Amino acid sequence: MKGHIPVLMVEAEGLAEAWEQSLIELYKDGCEIETEYDKPGDPPSKDCSMTIVIRNPLAEPMIHRDLPGGLEDLQEYCMEVLDGIKDHCVRDTEADPNDTRWEYTYHQRLFTYAVPSHEKEIDQIELVAQKLAATPHTRRAQAITWKVWEDNDCYDPACLQSIWCRLLQAEDGDWFLNTNIRFRSNDAYKAALMNMFAFIQLQKKIADRIAELSGKTVRLGRYVHQADSYHLYGSYFGEFEDRFLKGLDSRTFEERTFRYEDMKPIMDEAIPGILEKSKKLGRDR
């Protein structure tokens, strides 16, 4: 219906399959709309509100060969989200009003959320784990990124908005951590796979922490990735059609994907170099 942004949904067993299907559905049924980042002559983007359900977040294959960048980039992004290796790149305008570094990192917003009237930074991920360890069925275990006093006026506000978690016990007695991730804006082709991969690793980190606090066996339940604007920029259409769409016909699913289990040694090997590189970032203001 004209004037209505499509609401699309895909469901799959694992990450690589779910991401691939989401791009197919977006390209086929998304609406055309301009963006604030278009350059003169760019076609309008394909856009929709998307819900991606991954039934088994750790199911292989987890990695799609069409991910932006390479395996080292994926490892670096995970370390950025989980370990905060680039938190030092965030600007500090109180110390220097002319600081032009990054507005935020997801790790900073999730693990060291700062409120002007609150003396201590807030580790929201630890609070999520503590709440669920104490009350598995609570609906209050969530973490947010948005800072209403900053993000309404900044140039590059956070795309990730919230993480919501809840435990459910299976018949065998094990507990399953079910997780919802919500983005206000998500680049479907250039970012979403890396986003989902990293946040599944965060889901596992939360599950492990709940297990540590509670003594329960905690496994990963379904992962749901929700994006208000799940988009494919018009400037990417040529690359997307030549690389991604043609690959659907010319390669089998196995040829289009990697098993994380097989790639992990390569990614782990890159960690020292990533850490060294990250130390050099954001030092100059």
Write the pLDDT tens digit of every residue in 187-240: 999 999 999 999 999 999 999 999 999 999 999 999 999 999 999 999 999 999
Element (H, E) at 146: none
Looking at the predicted structure, is the pLDDT value of residue 118 above 80? yes
Q: Round to whole Å and give the CA distance between 95 and 275.
A: 25
Looking at the predicted structure, is the pLDDT value of residue 57 above 50? yes
Domain locations along the chain: 7-279
Write the pLDDT tens digit of every residue in 138-184: 999 999 999 999 888 887 899 999 999 999 999 999 999 999 999 99
Q: What is the mean pLDDT of residues 93-119?
A: 83
Looking at the predicted structure, is the pLDDT value of residue 40 above 70? yes
Quick one: which of 159, 162, 163, 152 has its CA closest to 190?
Answer: 159
Looking at the predicted structure, is the pLDDT value of residue 284 above 60? no
Percent of the chain exceeding pLDDT 90 equals: 82
Mean per-residue pLDDT over the chain, rounded: 93
Q: Report the predicted TM-score, pTM, of the whole model to 2 decimal places.
A: 0.94
pLDDT at 133: 98
Peptide bond into 136 cis (omega under 30): no
Positive or negative CA dihedral for 81, 87, 89, 94? positive
CATH code matching the domain that covers 7-279, chosen among 3.30.572.10, 3.40.50.300, 3.90.950.10, 3.30.70.360:
3.30.572.10
Inter-residue contact 167 to 218 (CB < 8 Å): yes
Least confidently predicted of 4-8, 18-22, 224-228, 279-283: 279-283
Looking at the predicted structure, is the pLDDT value of residue 41 above 80? yes
Q: Round to whole Å and give the CA distance between 66 and 69.
A: 8
Q: What is the mean pLDDT of residues 58-82?
A: 96
Quick one: which of 186, 156, 193, 161 has its CA closest to 69?
Answer: 193
Looking at the predicted structure, is the pLDDT value of residue 93 above 90? no
Inter-residue contact 231 to 47 (CB < 8 Å): yes
pLDDT category at 280 given cuts 50, 70, 90 is confident
Quick one: tokens of 104? Answer: 């935020």
pLDDT at 285: 45
Looking at the predicted structure, is the pLDDT value of residue 79 above 70? yes
DSSP state at residue 30: P
